Structure 1
Amino acid sequence: MDNAVVRAMDPSMKPEALAQWYLRLNGFFTITNFVVHPTHKGSQLTDGDIVGVRFPHRTEFQDGPGGDEEEFQHINNRLYFVVAEVKRGLCVMNQSWKMSGQEPIVALLQDLGPFAKCHVLDAASNLLSNGCYNTETLRASLLFIGSKFDPTLPTNALKKSWLELLEFIFARFSKHHQVKTDHDQWDNLGKELFKHFNETHASQQAFCRAVMKACNLPDDSWPILEP
């Protein structure tokens, strides 16, 4: 493969940034590395690699939401709230979420405020056991992003591989290439992703492999390129 295609990205570009771009292209407002501090002196209780919220009436393009993932769209006009755990390789439950019972995840939900106080304990319990929780106005889900997934992760949590993320990004750039061409205000990773898209000449496999290599993702998560 052409060395220009697989050149290394800026060292500051981490898998978490790639995951954030996936959520951004799906209409989420995000916060990265959200730290939950204790009420008294001591170490942090927990953190979320990424937390995000998506509004229910999003319509980025004239023909609709622009090909956002199906699971984010058809939730009966509710807000969508996610807490994401991001790993290069095997994705496992963030054990700090379960320490001291449900205290850390309860504190995270209280700090961010997606639920009324009467729903917080029930929401925390369901997120940890099932991976999701619904009210009349909001759907919440844990989101695990990695190359592989621990089989003990909550059954109804969202799980996305790096290949799935990149296939989505490639499809978005392909469908709306002209709209996305003007992206001077994007951050470094967004610009690098678009460069890789252009340099791989609309080849999905080449794009996915190039970005995975640039982000130093595990070899076994790369797509197999046909000769």
Structure 2
Amino acid sequence: MPETQIPNTSLGDALSIFDLETMLCSAERPPRENEAKAELLSSRVPLSFYANKHSYPIDPITVDRFPPRALHPRFKQRVKAAEKVTGRVGGNDRVKKIMREIKEMVVTPHKNIDLYVVDGDMSFLKAVIEAPNGIDCPYSGGTFLVTCNLPAGYPRDAPEVRFVTTIMHPNVSKQGKVYGILLTPDLENPLEVQTSLKYYEDDGSYAMAVAEATKRHASKNRAQWKEELDG
């Protein structure tokens, strides 16, 4: 990335690097094509080699700009609208429970949510969530893609929910990991430090930043998502 494209960053941006899943665990990082292999350093001399931004491009960190995380292995598999798979039967107790719960969501759907299921694997779902409209909701006008992975131990083990569409929320990491109840932000144990700091400022900057990020990242509507996912 040319240096002229590097955005202005802050100390908060720098500190937030250590909250990234891709920083905490290298297995979370996606493979990078044509990137030179990093060698183990045994002295200071080779450090200058890593200043080559063509071989080792800079990853800028801002409130809504950051290195990508590796996608779930089943993310790119085809999905179908949930109502198309509710007639399936069979499977073990776990699969039957998942089927019952999906059917319940189809029979009594939420007006703002569209549910999609990976074809042939009921344990990985995608949901398209439309934010409530209104001046009191900073996410108004936004539509978010979310994935839900039901682990082998489900329902004993909790579902793994992740935002694919970038969202600013104290309990959602930059890379989409959900922690806690989203309707009531847990500010004592935030997952996203930068967003929490803005929330605490309470001077209007938080709502403005959320609205701007929503407009920038979540402008695709439900009809467009349906055409892409179930078209």
Q: TM-score, normalised by structure 2?
A: 0.26
For the pair shown, the structure with the greater C-alpha radius of gyration is 2
Query: Using CA pairs below 8 Å that are at least 6 residues apart, which structure has the higher relative contact order?
Result: 1
Q: TM-score, normalised by structure 1?
A: 0.26
Name the structure with the higher strand share.
1
